Amino acid sequence: MEIYLIRHTTPDIPEGVCYGQTDVGVKDSFNQEVKRLQEVLPTTFNRIYHSPLQRCRLLAEAFDGQDVVVDERLKEWNFGAWEMQPWNSIPKELLTPFMEDFVNLSPPNGESFLLFHDRVNTFLEQLPYQEDTKVGIFTHGGVIRSMLCNIMEVPLHKAFHWHIDFGHYCKLQYVNMDRINLTCFNG
């Protein structure tokens, strides 16, 4: 089974703003970013899963899938009260401890990375394994990092050591349920 973890295209949001689960639109570069992805990804997936947020839904709709599923667990990390705030406007006495231990601490009314990781990976654990299947998962950078931590057995506090560009993907090859290979990163 081939699994493509596809990050949404560039969001229409000023740089430096925390937007997590906020349903922001996409930049005018959307069509060019989609075209690039269509040149490197399969044209048809047996199954497509996507986050309900429009930046993922719009990208998923640009691809054909025999079975399309919207899944809430594929939403980005919930930053609660910090959503739509510039990162540099969040009081340092709140932000600094969070940045030092984002795995266990959560923003006000948000979720810790550990809770987020548990949510995301219940999806991954329930993904049905079928040998000759191509699966497209249209989601967010945090979700992809969380899945990679799980699959590659990397500690959660290192999740943001990976840079995953907007409109790029990682490809996983399930050899069997005990072995998963990362065959493409940030493609």
pLDDT band at residue 43, thresholds of 50, 70 and 90?
confident
Residues above pLDDT 70, as percent of the chain: 98
3-state secondary structure of 48: strand
Q: How many CA atoms lie within 13 A of 29 on its CB side?
A: 11
| Tokens at 64, concatenated | 């054909």
Q: Give the pLDDT confidence score for residue 177 in this predicted structure.
A: 64
Output 9 or 174, whichever has higher pLDDT: 9
- CA-CA distances (angstroms) from residue 27 to 5, 30, 34? 21, 6, 12
Please say whether the beta carbons of 47 and 67 come within 8 A.
yes
Residues above pLDDT 90, as percent of the chain: 88
Q: Give the pLDDT confidence score for residue 119 in this predicted structure.
A: 97
Dist. CA 91–CA 44, nearest whole Å: 46
The dihedral built from the CA positions of residue 131, 6, 70 and 59, taken in this order, carries a sign that is negative
Q: Give the pLDDT confidence score for residue 168 in this predicted structure.
A: 98
Q: How many CB atoms within 10 Å of residue 119? A: 18
Specify the DSSP element, H or E, that contains 85: strand 85-86
Q: Each residue of 126-167: pLDDT tens digit?
A: 988 887 899 999 999 999 999 999 999 999 999 999 999 999
Is 90 exceeded by the pLDDT of residue 65?
Answer: no
**R_g of the chain computed on alpha carbons:** 16
Mean pLDDT across the chain, nearest whole number?
A: 95
User: Domain locations in the chain?
Assistant: 2-184
Beta strands 2-7 and 134-139, pairing class: parallel
Q: Give the pLDDT confidence score for residue 26 in this predicted structure.
A: 98
Is 70 exceeded by the pLDDT of residue 48?
Answer: yes
Is 90 exceeded by the pLDDT of residue 68?
Answer: yes
The correct answer on CATH 3.40.50.1240 for the domain covering 2-184 is: yes
> 163 in the Ramachandran plot: left (φ > 0), alpha (ψ -120 to 50) or beta?
beta
Q: Each residue of 75-112: pLDDT tens digit?
A: 999 999 999 999 999 999 999 999 999 999 999 999 99
Residue of 40, 34, 35 whose CA lies nearest to 9: 34
Q: How many CB atoms within 10 Å of residue 6? A: 27
Output 42 or 179, whichever has higher pLDDT: 42
Is 90 exceeded by the pLDDT of residue 178?
Answer: no
Q: Give the pLDDT confidence score for residue 129 in this predicted structure.
A: 80
Q: Enumerate the β-bridge partners of residue 111.
A: none
Dist. CA 6–CA 9, nearest whole Å: 9
Is 70 exceeded by the pLDDT of residue 9?
Answer: yes
